[in-house]
Amino acid sequence: MPITYHVVPHEDGWAYRLEDVFSETFPNHADALAAARIAAERHEQTDEDRFISYQAEDGKWHNEVAAGRDRPETEISDCAKTAGDDPAA
């Protein structure tokens, strides 16, 4: 199942969102869409395996190796295309 970057109006401009995290705000839709495409492409790129450490919701720390070749598929959902208009243009 791919992960989805959503291009949306945000703080008097445009941004892309992955789950509940927003990117910086861009002055126009085209810039936000271009940035979302770059982020999605980078998310799919393979890399070296890396040791990561993270804190779970229960407060416990976990250590694991993230496989650099195990990358998700990505897609972009553009609300301007679904709405048929770019309100920031």
59, part of any domain: yes
For residue 79, count CB atoms less than 10 angstroms from its CB and return exposed for 0-12, middle for 13-18, buried for 19 or more: middle
| Residue 58 pLDDT | 95
Number of compact structural domains in the chain? 1
45, part of any domain: yes
| Residue 71 pLDDT | 82
| Residue 32 pLDDT | 98
If we measure between CA atoms, which residue out of 1, 33, 36, 32 comes closest to residue 18?
A: 36
| Residue 43 pLDDT | 87
Domain range enclosing 72: 3-83
89, part of any domain: no
88, part of any domain: no
Output the pTM of the full model: 0.69
Per-residue pLDDT of the chain (89 residues; tens, 9 = 90+): 899 999 999 999 999 999 999 999 999 999 999 999 999 999 888 888 888 898 999 999 999 998 888 788 999 999 987 655 444 44
| 68 residue type, one letter | G
